[in-house]
Amino acid sequence: MTDRRFEMESALRAAVAERVGESRFGLWFGDGVRLGVDGDALTVGVPNRFFRDWIKGKYAGELASVGEAVSGRRLELAFEVADELEPGVDEVSPSPEGPPPDDRRRGPTVPIALPSSPGGWPSPSPSPGPPVDRPRSRRGRPLRRLEEFVAGPGTRLALAACGEMAEAVGATFNPLVVHGGVGLGKTHLLEGVAQAVSRRHPGARVVHQTAEAFTNGFLESMRSGTLNAFRSRSRSADVLILDDVHFLAAKRATQDEFQHAFDALVSSGAAVVLASDQHPRLIPKLTDELATRLLGGMVVKLEAPDPTTRRAILKAKAASRGVDLPDAVAAYIADHLRASVRELEGALHSVLAHAGLTGKRLDLDLARSALRDTIRHTAQAIALKDIERAVSTLFDLPAEGLKSDSRARAVTHPRMLAMYLARKHTGAAYSEIGRYFGGRNHSTVISAEKKVRCWLADEQRQSLLAGFETVGDVLAAVERSLGT
Ligand SMILES: Nc1ncnc2c1ncn2[C@@H]1O[C@H](COP(=O)(O)OP(=O)(O)OP(=O)(O)O)[C@@H](O)[C@H]1O
């Protein structure tokens, strides 16, 4: 059933776009934001509190005028925050004094354009075009660009935030944390920010490394008595980009060092961009001091791409290799491989290699034959019921026991393990897992995942089951029976 509150949405959106301009509209009123009229209220549905605070601080006046113009009466603003994380997780505080964002994102396959900088470092020529000397990754390949990132509903906000970061370098929000599962484009986005900053602000010093390299550099400098040099290097950046922040989990000394570097950088006006495979609140054994800092800017999640976006990614990747991928082939790959973009890339690579080696036409038959083994393997992917069965068997619980209302530890602990394994081995969303295991909500699954990670990080923690030494051993036993 359609929600009658949103009957006037298109008129409201058109009027807001008219007032705030296409580019700002694209960033702040894109897919995740809804506009509707409910009685005397103009309802503004936003993805998280960051958006609520930003829109309230910057656009309340425009929204009130638009509401009145479209509905013919004065409306109060009412925000609905659809934050998918547990309450308190996304407590972010934007600094509404920053310059307005100006991103030109339009649709799933349209690359964003980054307008020229308002100031700061000397700007390059107004029409950037492909840079002659494209910055390279440590492995010598050119850095991926934001324009090459194909956004869909679950990644558009992250792309827009990275575009804004590359443009305003921390003046709009700081830090930016991008988090999400394996192979969903975190490194690509970070490289894109590094590349765009270098292009937009050629004088800027961009330090771009992994948390592991930061950790190794720190430990080595302690060992060799060169801590001062390490500090002056890591604290003199204009933009610090740190990948795989979850690597800092349980590394107390490195966390402290990074926290001081972070404070020094932010107080000198530098921008910080981070990626992690988990939300900062879920990284085990991260000090509260550091977690709070990471949550102090914008935290944005990358979701796995939907089928339309998967197809668009495949088409774009093939086009970048000069291949016009037939729709049927793109659809076949996109429908069978869903876990990550890296997996899609691998499949595309196999299909193109197969075509090249056999000289056959690139069509559905060729794709089927090239991917037969890969897809057979994926078809055996783990389902929620497999995890339920494996955990119940190991803990000797009755069928449906994990879905029951029982609050006894003998049931709640295995249920938490099952939820953790479901996140790890299936593509299911928090809400889907919660529903499956007895109609629970997504925050229960988030808490379960966090709890299990703490158990795993705690070496003193006893296992949950007689006969096993650690929680890790219990999980390994379940995973063995799942055939992973
Ligand atoms: N939306 C996208 N559009 C285009 N390419 C993408 C997209 N998402 C991911 N990719 C590509 O998929 C590959 C894997 O992405 P990337 O390495 O950035 O993932 P990641 O999230 O950092 O993974 P990991 O957690 O394993 O480090 C890269 O080649 C990247 O360019």
Highest mean pLDDT among 14-28, 55-69, 407-421: 407-421
The matching CATH number, chosen from 1.10.10.10, 3.30.565.10, 3.40.50.300, 1.10.1370.30, for 146-302 is 3.40.50.300
Q: What is the pLDDT of residue 94?
A: 38
Q: Kindly report the CATH class assigned to 307-379.
A: mainly alpha
Q: Residue 284: pLDDT band by 50, 70, 90 thresholds?
A: confident
Query: What are the residue ranges of CATH 3.40.50.300 in the chain?
Result: 146-302
Query: What are the residue ranges of CATH 1.10.8 in the chain?
Result: 307-379
ipTM of the shown complex: 0.98
- The predicted model gives 470-479 an average pLDDT of 86
Just give the CATH number of 4-81: 3.30.300.180
pLDDT tens profile 148-166 = 999 988 898 899 999 999 9
The Cβ of residue 327 has, within 10 Å, a number of other Cβ atoms equal to 11
- The predicted model gives 182-204 an average pLDDT of 93
Just give the CATH number of 384-482: 1.10.1750.10
Q: Which of 51-55, 257-261, 318-322, 436-440 has the lowest mean pLDDT?
A: 51-55
Query: What are the residue ranges of CATH 3.30.300.180 in the chain?
Result: 4-81
Using the predicted structure, report yes or no on whether residue 93 has a pLDDT greater than 60.
Answer: no
Pocket test for ligand 1, best of 309, 341, 424 (most atoms within 8 A of CB): 341
Q: Which of 2-11, 204-213, 318-327, 345-354 has the lowest mean pLDDT?
A: 2-11
User: How far is the centre of ligand 1, averaged over its atoms, from the C-alpha of 77 (Å)?
Assistant: 38
Pocket test for ligand 1, best of 105, 187, 210, 306 (most atoms within 8 A of CB): 187
- The predicted model gives 218-226 an average pLDDT of 94
The CA-based diameter of the chain, rounded to the nearest angstrom, is 72
Q: Say whether 358 counts as a known binding-site residue.
A: no
